[in-house]
Amino acid sequence: MNTGGVEISLAVAHGDFRLQAELNLPGRGVTAIAGPSGCGKTTLLRGIAGLDRHAGHLRVNGEIWQDDARGIFLPVHKRALGYVFQEASLLPHLDVRANIEYGWKRAASGATRPDPKRMLRLLGIDHLLGRRPADLSGGERQRVAIARALLAAPRMLLMDEPLAALDQARKQEVLPYLERLHEELALPILYVSHSPDEIARLADHLVLMEQGRVAGSGPITEMSARLDLPQAQAEAGVIVDAVVEDWDADYQLATLRVGANAIRVPHPRLSVGQRLRLRILARDVILALDRRDDTSALNHVPVRVLEEAPAGGSAHVMVRLDAQGMPLLARVTRISRDRLGVAPGVGMWAQFKATAVFA
Ligand SMILES: Nc1ncnc2c1ncn2[C@@H]1O[C@H](COP(=O)(O)OP(=O)(O)OP(=O)(O)O)[C@@H](O)[C@H]1O
């Protein structure tokens, strides 16, 4: 029997609000949980943590945390989990070292603890051990809170908008640490976020919630190319994984391989063979009947039209395309669609500016 992964079936009612979530999530990697304000993301996380008691069952990589049918409900302190909130809840009278030791002491006996030195280095806080929380920047505080959570050897990490309280510069500072953690940790991370950019950079899997229920759940690359999901809260655009094939030092331009396509992106420094995530926004994709090299757009790929859907407002449509195996979305006006004869099965060319691709 395969017991890996996170199986969630939780239901609760708070007055008029009802949460009903059935999910099967990967047993490692980042699952982003997104959806409009009030759709139930925090309510779901609190149920998973055991902070509130919802009805249902919950299994984390083979460990049963809740099973109402068998009368099992592990209280929050018996669940090996780390919880990181918007504001780092560090103990103000203790320095960073003591705050982190507090997490270390919480690890269950017999749990495989991460190496603290490596963890501190990974989060870039090894030089801050003697400082009090008040003497840290918001980004540093959040990195200490993450280290403290991880040193308690959790079997799952819950992060509820961990970067939301930081300004843009601090967010950009913390994101690379989260990216590195994501590669290193073999545990499921549930990551609530409203930021499409954060989700594109960190998530392997995406859960979209709407009014207390799961509107969709799947690998991020597949979810980003679907037209049947509420896209309004995120700017529509595909997320694809790419490998660096070439980097031109003179033009500061990388050539990236995505399936059969070579995509060019400006970048200050990349190494051949490096893996990257790209996000290509639907509004930045232009459709044409022929390949046109007389424009400044660097990327031209042959596409086949798969389907279209309304794109918010009545002037535009969203077109889903297959670019030699790479998914692509294009947001075009209805008048352009009619003028060009965009319809399922039609072969066309898509252009997008290299700056439309975020590495
Ligand atoms: N303990 C509670 N008692 C009553 N209502 C609650 C309680 N907790 C949450 N709610 C309601 O449940 C709904 C979902 O709230 P929740 O905080 O889970 O949403 P969210 O998706 O995390 O929102 P946001 O993105 O704004 O943080 C809201 O309507 C909220 O007011």
pTM (global) more than 0.95: no
Supply 192's token pair.
């609530």
Ligand 1 centre from 11 Cα, in Å? 13
Is the CB–ligand 1 distance for residue 39 below 6 Å?
yes
Ligand 1 centre from 278 Cα, in Å? 32
Ligand 1 centre from 42 Cα, in Å? 7
| Cα–Cα distance measured from residue 280 to residue 356, given in angstroms and rounded to the nearest whole number | 6
The 10s digit of each residue's pLDDT in 208-241 is 999 999 999 999 999 999 988 876 445 789 999 9
| Cα–Cα distance measured from residue 109 to residue 140, given in angstroms and rounded to the nearest whole number | 29
Q: What ipTM describes this predicted complex?
A: 0.95
b/e map of 133-154 (b: 16 or more CB within 10 Å)?
A: beebebbbbbbbbbbbbbbbbb
Ligand 1 centre from 197 Cα, in Å? 24
Ligand 1 centre from 19 Cα, in Å? 10
The 10s digit of each residue's pLDDT in 47-64 is 999 999 999 999 999 999
Is the CB–ligand 1 distance for residue 41 below 6 Å?
yes
From 19, 20, 41, 87, the mutation candidate for ligand 1 (largest count of ligand atoms within 8 A of CB) is 41
The 10s digit of each residue's pLDDT in 170-212 is 888 888 888 888 888 889 999 999 888 889 889 999 999 999 9
Nearest CA to ligand 1 atom 7: 14
Is the CB–ligand 1 distance for residue 166 below 6 Å?
no
Q: Which atom of ligand 1 is nearest to the CA of 45?
A: 18
> Are the C-beta atoms of 231 and 243 separated by less than 8 Å?
no
| Cα–Cα distance measured from residue 253 to residue 268, given in angstroms and rounded to the nearest whole number | 8
pLDDT (mean) for 4-13: 96
Task: Say whether pLDDT at 73 is over 90.
Answer: yes
| Cα–Cα distance measured from residue 67 to residue 107, given in angstroms and rounded to the nearest whole number | 24
Is the CB–ligand 1 distance for residue 10 below 6 Å?
no
The 10s digit of each residue's pLDDT in 271-316 is 999 988 898 999 999 999 999 888 888 999 999 999 999 887 789 9
The 10s digit of each residue's pLDDT in 14-45 is 999 999 999 999 999 999 999 999 999 999 99
| Cα–Cα distance measured from residue 235 to residue 214, given in angstroms and rounded to the nearest whole number | 19
Task: Say whether pLDDT at 106 is over 60.
Answer: yes
Q: What percent of the chain has pLDDT over 90?
A: 67
Ligand 1 centre from 14 Cα, in Å? 8
Ligand 1 centre from 188 Cα, in Å? 23
Ligand 1 centre from 161 Cα, in Å? 14
| Residue labelled with tokens 């994501």 | 182
Task: Say whether pLDDT at 1 is over 70.
Answer: no
Is the CB–ligand 1 distance for residue 40 below 6 Å?
yes
Nearest CA to ligand 1 atom 3: 14
From 18, 41, 43, the mutation candidate for ligand 1 (largest count of ligand atoms within 8 A of CB) is 43
Is the CB–ligand 1 distance for residue 15 below 6 Å?
yes
> Are the C-beta atoms of 93 and 35 separated by less than 8 Å?
no
Task: State the chain's mean pLDDT as an integer.
Answer: 90
Q: What percent of the chain has pLDDT over 70?
A: 96
User: Could you tell me where the DSSP H helices lie in the chain?
Assistant: 41-49, 96-106, 116-122, 138-151, 168-184, 196-202, 220-224, 334-340
| Cα–Cα distance measured from residue 255 to residue 250, given in angstroms and rounded to the nearest whole number | 13
Q: How confident is the model at residue 82 (pLDDT cuts 50, 70, 90)?
A: very high
Ligand 1 centre from 107 Cα, in Å? 30
Torsion of CA 89, 93, 99, 105, to 10 degrees: -110
